[in-house]
Structure 1
């Protein structure tokens, strides 16, 4: 990149920083006064004219300053050399807060609340997807001599409990045999493979345990192959209303309303998180890059969360295109990392 192109990027970066901070169009005089650009006002004005001609900034009104376009934000994001790090104290506080979650639901709710507070945007966390989950443990508990409780725990922290009614009473010794048979057949397998294994187990079970195995297997197969609608946790929606002006001027009448309505459509939000399948890699989609008509006045910063090389689901924030991208990227990456660690250790 030539020195002239680099200087123009510095001008663009200054415009983005000031506009995110002030919400006001930025003029050349303010840039010269606030930033040590090392060039004259005339040079800055010329650079701004070139940036505008190339589509990186635009003039909202005659004789007003300039604001970044989606293309300008994209150029800025692509050249973020250093993401603003969270302090050690902040990271420690985030981890401790998440570790205090009593179960999967609580951890995800805490994660959403944290992310919304850190970024002042709408935070979204997708529940662990079933296709990515493996069976960590199956516990078989006798509620009565003829009624069992099956507790299935996945590596993503999901817990399913089902009651099985036996046709006859079962002894403690046979219960231990049944527990071992089922546990050995399921442990460590992905849910799809586990459902096949438990079906085969019913065919090959010892004669004296066959009825109990078949009853348990039938219940487990229903649990393993069920694919309920993907669930999401959202938080901080009120943050959008605090920045209502950011959604005007995008050619969408009542655009804040359309964004709020789209957020209620779970399939739309899931689509926004769909590309977030690599834990540790943060994706930023700006304006029309979201490929959702109702969201073209927004940006989505997202990533995947998980543990031991397995991605459980997506996580991210949604807000106006005028956002603190370095800070938001750091917050999304940190919260995703610690949610994955906490769930992976349970």
Structure 2
């Protein structure tokens, strides 16, 4: 084992103990708790080098050492592999999520489960519309001059819109409109469907052009990517305990969770399903999350990301366990949503 490898093992031990105890770690406790195979003097020397290089720090005089953001980053980057969940844990996750009755239920279950597994705040993003395909558009006459348009995507997302018509619509014209939508829009991506819908007015018969024009205006508003993507959060009660030693940080974290802008940007940047992204401390652009770590992953089908999920916690978190939970839940959400 090289000196660098040995020092990384010392850093790994410090991270493990600090996450478990929330107390600065001294060389004596490392000797007592870990079989590092070297003398206490060597451990003290290694800790001195790690501190000089910025991987650990001494919070106050006569205290032990705690990992810095740089130390956590090295620890995460050198994880040889994400700790796999046990077969029992995987079966439990799959069984719990597969009982979801619809998209809303699946996402609520997934974020609640992720919060329970990690004891942190969890967030899941609804499938983004631009990455979905239109499965079906239904037009229902609520009154002769009012329609309900229902857009159903292949991910199970359902959008409903009301249309007020200038004239009453007949059953025959409504049936023809449904058939036209099925022929021109079903199976297309949302941008493709929007382009196809916009062409319907020019090709419509004069007697139904007014109805189609009113409906198209509403559909275009639904089919183009929505500026407000939907997030579901769970486990915010865990934040109180996680940041109990830093009330100022807790307030900032709660503000960031409430505003959601940072979380949406993070999830929007995910490029492929199943690829884990870990951002630590100052790596987070939002200063409210400067004492936080975010572990995120996309979910979807094949190489297409439909949405993302993440866990937000203090930098002092169980990275291997959190990364394993995020990856596992993302995989199952992707499988379930893709199959709907």
The question of a shared fold, defined as TM-score above 0.5 by the shorter chain, is answered with: yes
Q: Answer yes or no: is 1:338 the counterpart of 2:313.
A: no
Aligned to 1:232: 231
Backbone CA RMSD of aligned residues: 2.2
Q: Which residue of 1 aligns with 2:289?
A: 295
Secondary structure, counterpart of 2:265 in structure 1: helix
Corresponding residue number in structure 1 for 2:15: 16
What is the CA-CA distance between 1:261 and the residue it aligns to? 2.0
User: Quick one: distance in 1 between partners of 2:293 and 2:115?
Assistant: 15
Mapped partners of 1:204, 1:308: distance in 2: 36
Structure 2: how far apart are the matches of 1:101 and 1:329?
Answer: 23
SS at match of 1:337: helix
1:161 aligns with 2:155: no
Say if 1:135 and 1:152, in contact at 8 Å, map to a contact too.
yes
Q: How does 1:276-315 map to 2 (within 5 A)?
A: 276-315=270-309
1:148 to partner: Cα distance: 4.6
Q: Return the offset for 1:81.
A: 1.0
Which runs of 5 or more residues in structure 2 are unaligned? none
Alpha-carbon distance between aligned partners in 2 of 1:210 and 1:330, rounded to the nearest angstrom: 54
What's the counterpart of residue 81 of structure 1?
Answer: 80
Alignment check: 8 A CA contact 1:146 1:170 kept: no
- Select the residue among 321, 324, 327 that pairs with 2:318: 324
> For structure 1, which segment, 140-149 or 26-35, has the greater mean C-alpha deviation from structure 2 after superposition?
140-149
Matched positions, count: 339
CA distance in 1, matches of 2:318, 2:298: 20
Deviates more, 1:225-234 or 1:109-118: 225-234
* Distance in 1 (alpha carbons) for counterparts of 2:53 and 2:190: 51
Partner of 1:170: 170
Structure 2 SS opposite 1:136: strand
SS of corresponding position for 1:112: helix
Scaled by the length of structure 1, what TM-score is found? 0.90
SS of the residue aligned with 1:82?
coil
Stretches of structure 1 lacking an aligned partner (at least 5 in a row):
249-253
What do residues 273-319 of structure 1 show as CA deviations (whole Å, max 9, x unaligned)? 34333211110011001122111111111111222432122210111
> Could you list the per-position Cα deviations for residues 31-60 of structure 1 after superposition, in whole angstroms to 9, with x for gaps in the alignment?
122212111111111111111111111112
Question: Mean alpha-carbon deviation: is it higher for 256-265 or for 136-145?
Answer: 136-145
Provide closer, same or farther for how the CA distance between residues 329 and 155 of structure 1 changes in structure 2, counting only shifts above 3 A.
Answer: same
After superposition, what is the alpha-carbon deviation per residue over 1:211-242, rounded to whole angstroms, capped at 9, x for unaligned?
54444333322322372522221111111111
Larger deviation, residues 73-82 vs 216-225: 216-225
Partner SS state of residue 272, structure 2: coil
Q: Secondary structure at the match of 2:296?
A: strand
Are the equivalent residues in 2 in contact too, given 1:135–1:191 (CA < 8 A)? yes
What are the residue-to-residue correspondences of 1:1-346 with 2, within 5 Å?
3-141=2-140, 148-164=147-163, 167-171=167-171, 175-206=174-205, 209-225=208-224, 227-247=226-246, 254-346=248-340
For residues 123 and 192 of structure 1, the distance between their equivalents in structure 2, rounded to whole angstroms, comes to 30
1:209 to partner: Cα distance: 5.0
SS in 1 for 2:220: helix
